[in-house]
């Protein structure tokens, strides 16, 4: 059949128009993808392709050779319309299987997802809700920013809400562990009861019933993002929970480490969506390599300025998270406080690292002008970043990372410090500290941070001197209590003071608890002697170092009539061969007791410690000595500095 020229042209145009959409879909995508936030610096997206049959995401992985990562089969892309597009398969990687980093330290692979609309402007990669899963949020083409609408409302911490936040009460958590069986090698979990206002950190053993159910409660002073530590035969993971005093949080712990809430806290401090996608994993990222490079190449002021610019980028992510995942104004406020706090911590970490470096160089014999080296950290003009910190916001108290932020601020050169020569002089320094705090934080009065620095200093001084310098401590307590200003902080000071007074006895009897009963069974044979108990573990480097360095001292004291040693560790935390080799070499002839992980938890509960090495001492009657024995360089020093001192203190 012949066609004239006009017909031929129309036919060509028709065919071209019909194929144009398919051609566009095949060539669509992000050739230079960027993202607003990521919870990993190991994996990044290098290309995104939209086709009729799949959305193809290309990844670049950089990690240690021989180490592995994996992409969960339940990984999804969350489109801009909120729909989730499932992962179909991998190319160069098998979903759910280990991807081992090549010898080069870098690898490439692709993951194919259900096809997204070709006009997709941005999406979120969410690997899963499992423990350790990673997310890359706000993925878009470079140069095409995502327009995030202004929030409908903003949370304001009013005086009334602040009062409610600090009201205090009992936190109660009830839950169950999905798929739990006692054969998994654990019957307890460990909860850390942390008070960021004072720095107190005490363990709480949580007992698990055979059906996997558990419950626990403890006094708290504000809402908390708590942590449960699970350690079993083949299980070791940390699980977060959110709880508000006076309410019950009901949780389900899944095998992959994710948590579902059958009942979450309600009221002004309710959280829901921010518990499903935890903002703490994406709102703060500063890799060790990047931090080190910036620290070594920039002065303090330039480092602070760069870090604040990084913070501003993450605050964009906070707005994006609140919009995309439906955060309440309270949840958005928490994410913003956390972001500011963590980047402020990095600036204060810079100071800490530089001070440590100066100290190291001095120890090595280098002649340095200490004042000149540390001058940048005593210059108020370099602390402009503190005006951008949530220095007066009680919301920060619910984050465990607040402890690090406050610690770095507490020991910063910018804050005056002094000794305990007299309570009057110390209180003068405290007043000067609050003046500096007010100036650098831009607060109308002393900030919450400044007041907490004084509260923590009070706790430290009371623990060290309440018994030997009671009059000085009484005067210091009264003066600092007045400077604290807030009634909630004064209540904490009163509690610390009463506890310190109760600890003025040199010894105390073991209580009637499971941990105490276990300890009695292990130590009754040592009645009549002082007993130094070493709680240790094979995985703990300082534990092993202390045992190695004390070997000759202990050998020299092997037959001493007044002192002995007991070593307690948890079973199943290292290979049996490595354990036996170490014990045979450094603990031969000693009493070494391996207890179950659950029993070790009960002993940590008994003495209130969360880390090892930890040392306790029993007197000849089996009472606990508050200021007990410690290792020395040799047996003679141990006898004079430790044993003779203790005898003089305790024996009539």
Q: Give 388's DSSP letter.
A: G
Judged against a pLDDT cut of 80, whether residue 335 lies above it is answered with: yes
CA-based nearest residue to 530, from 402, 629, 441: 629
Q: Which whole number is the average pLDDT over 494-507?
A: 91
Judged against a pLDDT cut of 70, whether residue 235 lies above it is answered with: yes
SS3 content of the chain, % helix, strand, coil (to 5): 40, 20, 35
How confident is the model over 276-309, as pLDDT tens digits?
888 988 998 888 889 999 999 999 999 999 999 9
How confident is the model over 569-613, as pLDDT tens digits?
999 888 899 999 999 999 999 999 999 999 999 999 999 998 899
Look at residue 16 in the predicted model and tell me its pLDDT.
Answer: 45
Q: What are the structure tokens assigned to 93, written together?
A: 């990687």
Distances (CA, A) of 112 to 41, 42, 71, 87, 137: 21, 20, 12, 6, 18
How confident is the model over 108-140, as pLDDT tens digits?
999 999 999 999 999 999 999 888 899 999 999
CB of 57 closer than 8 Å to CB of 110: yes
Please tell me whether residue 282 adopts helix, strand or coil conformation. Answer: coil
CA atoms within 13 A on the CB side of 406: 28
Pairwise CA distance, residues 322 & 438, whole Å: 31
Look at residue 13 in the predicted model and tell me its pLDDT.
Answer: 46
Judged against a pLDDT cut of 60, whether residue 325 lies above it is answered with: yes
C-beta atoms surrounding 406 within 10 Å: 23
DSSP states of 479-501 as a string? HHHHHH-SHHHHHHHHHHHHHHH
End-to-end, the C-alpha distance of the chain in Å comes to 124
Q: What are the structure tokens assigned to 242, written together?
A: 């959110």
* Average pLDDT of the residues of the chain: 91
Contacts of 471 (CB under 8 A, 6+ apart): none
Give percent above pLDDT 70 in the chain.
Answer: 95
Pairwise CA distance, residues 2 & 448, whole Å: 89
Look at residue 346 in the predicted model and tell me its pLDDT.
Answer: 97
How confident is the model over 413-447, as pLDDT tens digits?
999 987 766 778 889 999 999 999 999 999 999 99
Judged against a pLDDT cut of 60, whether residue 26 lies above it is answered with: no
Q: Contacts for 227-231 with beta carbons within 8 Å, 24 or more apart? A: 227/191, 227/192, 227/400, 228/189, 228/190, 228/191, 228/253, 229/189, 229/190, 229/191, 229/192, 230/186, 230/189, 231/186, 231/190, 231/570, 231/573, 231/597
Distances (CA, A) of 646 to 143, 297, 547, 625: 71, 51, 22, 9
Angle 499-159-394 from CA coordinates, rounded to 5°: 50
Q: Which whole number is the average pLDDT over 529-541?
A: 94
Among 44-53, 428-437, 496-505, the minimum mean pLDDT is found in 496-505
| Structural domains of the chain sorted by starting position, each given as residue range(s) with its CATH number in brackets | 27-141 (2.60.40), 164-270 (2.60.40), 288-502 (no CATH), 507-650 (3.40.30.10)
Taking only Cα atoms into account, the Rg of the chain, rounded to an integer number of angstroms, comes to 30
Please tell me whether residue 58 adopts helix, strand or coil conformation. Answer: strand
Please tell me whether residue 213 adopts helix, strand or coil conformation. Answer: strand
Judged against a pLDDT cut of 70, whether residue 507 lies above it is answered with: yes
Give percent above pLDDT 90 in the chain.
Answer: 78
CA atoms within 13 A on the CB side of 483: 29
CA-based nearest residue to 26, from 4, 49, 47, 46: 49
How many residues are listed for the chain in this entry? 652
Q: What are the structure tokens assigned to 515, written together?
A: 């941990």
Judged against a pLDDT cut of 60, whether residue 548 lies above it is answered with: yes
CB of 49 closer than 8 Å to CB of 56: yes
Buried b (16+ CB within 10 A) or exposed e, 6-32: eeeeeeeeeeeeeeeeeeebeebbbee
Look at residue 371 in the predicted model and tell me its pLDDT.
Answer: 82
Q: What are the structure tokens assigned to 151, written together?
A: 């929030």
Judged against a pLDDT cut of 60, whether residue 17 lies above it is answered with: no
Q: Give 640's DSSP letter.
A: I
Helices (H), 298-422: 300-324, 329-363, 370-374, 402-410
Beta partners for 259? 253
> What stretches of 24-96 adopt beta strand conformation (E)?
29-30, 33-34, 37-38, 43-50, 55-62, 68-69, 76-79, 84-91
Look at residue 392 in the predicted model and tell me its pLDDT.
Answer: 96
CB of 542 closer than 8 Å to CB of 627: no
Look at residue 9 in the predicted model and tell me its pLDDT.
Answer: 42
Contacts of 102 (CB under 8 A, 6+ apart): 65
Judged against a pLDDT cut of 90, whether residue 18 lies above it is answered with: no
How confident is the model over 381-406, as pLDDT tens digits?
999 999 999 999 999 999 989 999 99
| Distance from chain centroid for Cα 19 | 55
Please tell me whether residue 357 adopts helix, strand or coil conformation. Answer: helix
Buried b (16+ CB within 10 A) or exposed e, 571-601: bbbeeeeebeebbeebbeebbbeebbbbbbb
pTM of the full predicted structure?
0.87
Q: How confident is the model at residue 15 (pLDDT cuts 50, 70, 90)?
A: very low
Look at residue 421 in the predicted model and tell me its pLDDT.
Answer: 66
Q: How confident is the model at residue 257 (pLDDT cuts 50, 70, 90)?
A: confident
Look at residue 642 in the predicted model and tell me its pLDDT.
Answer: 92
Inter-axis angle of helices 448-465 and 423-441, nearest 10: 160
Look at residue 502 in the predicted model and tell me its pLDDT.
Answer: 87
Judged against a pLDDT cut of 60, whether residue 4 lies above it is answered with: no
Judged against a pLDDT cut of 50, whether residue 559 lies above it is answered with: yes
């Amino acid at each position: 059949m012949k066609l004239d020229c006009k017909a031929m042209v129309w036919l060509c145009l028709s065919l071209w128009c019909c194929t144009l959409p398919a051609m566009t879909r095949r060539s669509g995508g992000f050739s230079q993808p960027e993202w607003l936030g990521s919870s990993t610096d190991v994996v990044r997206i290098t290309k995104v392709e939209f086709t009729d049959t799949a959305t193809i995401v290309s990844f670049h992985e950089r990690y240690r050779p021989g180490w592995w990562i994996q992409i969960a089969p339940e990984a999804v892309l969350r489109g801009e319309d909120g729909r989730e597009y499932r992962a179909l398969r991998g190319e160069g990687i098998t979903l759910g299987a280990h991807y081992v980093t090549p010898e080069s330290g870098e690898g490439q692979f692709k993951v194919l997802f259900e096809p997204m609309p070709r006009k997709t402007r941005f999406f979120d990669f969410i690997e899963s809700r499992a423990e350790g899963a990673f997310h890359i949020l706000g993925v878009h083409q470079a140069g095409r920013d995502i327009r995030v609408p202004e929030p409908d409302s903003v949370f304001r911490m009013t005086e009334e809400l602040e009062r409610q936040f600090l009201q205090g009460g009992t936190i109660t958590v009830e839950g169950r562990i999905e798929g739990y069986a006692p054969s998994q090698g654990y019957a307890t979990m460990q909860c850390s009861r942390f008070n960021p206002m004072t720095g107190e950190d005490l363990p709480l053993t949580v007992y698990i019933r055979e059906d996997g159910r558990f419950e626990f409660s403890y006094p708290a002073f504000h809402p908390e993002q708590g942590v449960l530590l699970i350690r079993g035969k083949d299980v070791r993971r940390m699980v977060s929970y959110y709880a508000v005093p006076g309410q019950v949080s009901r949780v389900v712990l899944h095998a992959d480490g994710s948590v579902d809430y059958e009942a979450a806290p309600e009221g002004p401090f309710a959280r829901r969506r921010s518990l499903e996608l935890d903002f703490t994993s994406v709102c703060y990222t500063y890799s060790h390599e990047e931090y080190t490079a910036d620290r070594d190449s920039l002065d303090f002021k330039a480092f602070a300025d760069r870090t604040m610019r990084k913070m501003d980028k993450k605050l964009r992510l906070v707005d994006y998270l609140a919009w995309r995942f439906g955060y309440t104004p309270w949840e958005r406020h928490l994410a913003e406080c956390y972001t500011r706090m963590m980047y402020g911590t990095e600036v204060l970490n810079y100071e800490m690292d530089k001070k440590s470096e100066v100290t190291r160089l001095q120890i090595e014999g280098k002649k340095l002008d200490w004042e000149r080296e540390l001058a940048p950290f005593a210059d108020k003009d370099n602390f402009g970043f503190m005006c951008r910190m949530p220095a007066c916001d009680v919301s920060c108290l619910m984050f465990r990372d607040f402890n690090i932020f406050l610690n770095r601020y507490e020991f910063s050169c910018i804050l005056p410090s002094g000794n305990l020569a007299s309570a009057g002089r110390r209180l003068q320094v405290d007043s000067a500290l609050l003046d500096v705090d007010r100036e650098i934080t831009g607060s109308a009065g002393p900030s919450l941070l400044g007041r907490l620095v004084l509260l923590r200093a009070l706790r430290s001084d009371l623990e060290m001197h309440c018994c030997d310098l009671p009059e000085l401590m009484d005067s210091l307590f009264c003066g600092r209590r007045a400077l604290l200003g807030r009634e909630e902080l004064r209540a904490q000071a009163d509690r610390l003071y009463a506890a310190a007074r109760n600890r003025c006895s040199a010894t105390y009897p073991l209580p009637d608890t499971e941990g105490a009963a276990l300890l009695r069974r292990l130590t009754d044979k040592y009645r009549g002697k002082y007993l130094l108990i070493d709680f240790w573990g094979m995985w703990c480097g300082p534990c092993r170092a202390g045992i190695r360095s004390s070997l000759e001292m202990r050998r020299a004291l092997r037959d001493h009539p007044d002192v002995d040693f007991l070593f307690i560790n948890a079973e199943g935390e290292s290979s049996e061969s490595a354990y036996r080799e170490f014990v045979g070499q450094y603990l031969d002839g000693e009493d070494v007791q391996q207890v179950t992980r659950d029993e070790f938890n009960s002993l940590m509960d008994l003495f209130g410690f969360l880390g090892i090495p930890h040392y306790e001492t029993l007197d000849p009657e089996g009472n606990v000595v508050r200021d007990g024995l410690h290792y020395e360089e040799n047996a003679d020093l141990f006898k004079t500095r430790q044993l003779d001192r203790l005898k003089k203190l305790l024996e009539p």
